[in-house]
Amino acid sequence: MPALANLSIKNFAFCVGDNGCAEPFSEFKKLNSLIIDRCTALDAENLHISSVTLANLTIITPRVVARNYRKIELSTTSLHSFVFIGIPYQKLVGSHLCSVKHLNIYPNVPWNYADLDWKHANLLVFLSWLLELVDIKSFTISSTTLQVYFS
């Protein structure tokens, strides 16, 4: 498995390590593309993705959010493209986020979602992501995102 270059994982539960976070991909030394689709982290506050070779990352969260991890930590010096499909309620942090050049965010919530507290809280998280990803060259955002956050 350490030689694996592309990985797509769906409906999987990651276990927490000794450091209190889930860090399931650190042993994949040649990982280039990673899709995490509707996965959870059992008893972990943080999902840590660590890879010096990872260039493309897609995270898809379920429509009904089981808020199991509150922070996505990226230690990915080669990460070039980041796609997020879901509700960006997690804090995004990392040591090399300046390597991300292409960002796509698609929320999977109804466009007419009316809970103003939810909108406000998630808009602040969404904007904090943009502040972390300062060197992006292209940014794709769906019209649904604009309707959800700015209606």
pLDDT (tens digit per residue) in 77-124: 999 999 998 877 788 998 778 899 999 988 766 555 555 566 666 778
Please report whether residue 1 resides in a domain.
Answer: no
DSSP string, the chain: -TT--EEEEES-EEPP-TTSEE-TTTT-TT--EEEEES-EETT-SEEEEE-SS--EEEEE--SS------EEEEE-TT--EEEEES---SEEEES-GGG--EEEEE--S-TT---HHHHHHHHHHHHHHHHH-TT-SEEEE-HHHHHHHH-
Range of the domain at 64: 6-150
CA distance 50 to 63: 26
Phi, psi (rounded to 5 degrees) for 146: -65, -40
Please report whether residue 119 resides in a domain.
Answer: yes
- Mean pLDDT for the stretch of residues 4-12: 94
- Mean pLDDT for the stretch of residues 17-32: 87
Residue 113: per-residue pLDDT: 57
pLDDT reading at 2 higher than 90: no
Pairing verdict, β 40-41 and 91-94: unpaired
Count of C-beta atoms within a 10 Å radius of residue 71: 14
| Strand-pair partners of 139 | 103
- Mean pLDDT for the stretch of residues 65-82: 83
Please report whether residue 75 resides in a domain.
Answer: yes
Residue 100: per-residue pLDDT: 94
Residue 71: per-residue pLDDT: 87
pLDDT band for position 63 (cuts 50, 70, 90): low
The number of domains in the chain is: 1
pLDDT reading at 22 higher than 80: yes
